[in-house]
Amino acid sequence: VVHRDLSPGNVRRRGDETWTLLDPGLARHLAEFSLTGLYQPGTAGYRSPEQVPGGTPDTYSDVYCVGILAYVALTAQWPVDPSGAEDAYFKRLVQQQPVPVKTLRPDLDDEFAAIIDRCLNRQPARRYLDAAELLGALGKSSLDATP
């Protein structure tokens, strides 16, 4: 299943310190994809390079959007500036690799920073395949998950 709209408005922290995804209305099984026209699902600023007009979102796209969420939360900056005309944003999205998160937050754990940077790779095949693989990488990292 591909969510297609991972953005801050669709992620909530629950009282038990876990997180949940909201708005499954755009979610689709991969076999159901058939996008036509120029409409692109998702929230502006929270799109992957392959979601430029004509592209089809997939599990790699959701991983990219998780990377955006983490990057913005940790740096208060966009990995790729979404401002201005949509076509200019799409051009930047396809051509610019984000500044490594460790450059903006040198205090971050090296493994965690590498995980975020991998999520934000412009090339889908260089990202984690899906949320399960991403969670596996986080689980294998040396991060301390205690609050």
Please state, in angstroms and as integers, the Cα–Cα distance from residue 122 to each residue in 1, 8, 31, 63, 64, following that order.
Answer: 21, 21, 23, 11, 9
Tell me, yes or no, if 5 is annotated catalytic: yes
Q: Which residue among the candidates 5, 58, 62, 117 is catalytic per the annotation?
A: 5
Element (H, E) at 20: strand 19-21
d(CA 79, CA 115): 14
Among 104, 52, 49, which residue's Cα sits nearest to residue 73? 104
**Residues with catalytic roles:** 5
